[in-house]
Structure 1
């Protein structure tokens, strides 16, 4: 059975999200090792609106 990735996000005030997350399961690192209960920082480009725009004609520029 394949699990969907589970990411836990954090907020400083209960509303504004921080870039800090905990990967609970479902992702691997650059060496193929499972990330479980690993704290990470999301890259600046990983926001729902930018991902939506990427699939609707406005490509993500990863160098921004």
Structure 2
């Protein structure tokens, strides 16, 4: 009984340690990913605005 409990405890403790190690780099990549997403959305919005502005200028010139 005791030996089985010890092995269970060891496996769970080592498993939790591995999980913690795996989670940290994931958090870092997620953080960077979010920053990149924000940057991409901002640049996309700026490009859309530029296109709209150019389109408006063209339509004004035609009229």
Task: Tell me the TM-score normalized by structure 1.
Answer: 0.21
Larger RCO (CA under 8 A, 6+ residues apart): 1
Q: Point out the structure with the larger strand share.
A: 1
| Bigger Rg, which one | 2
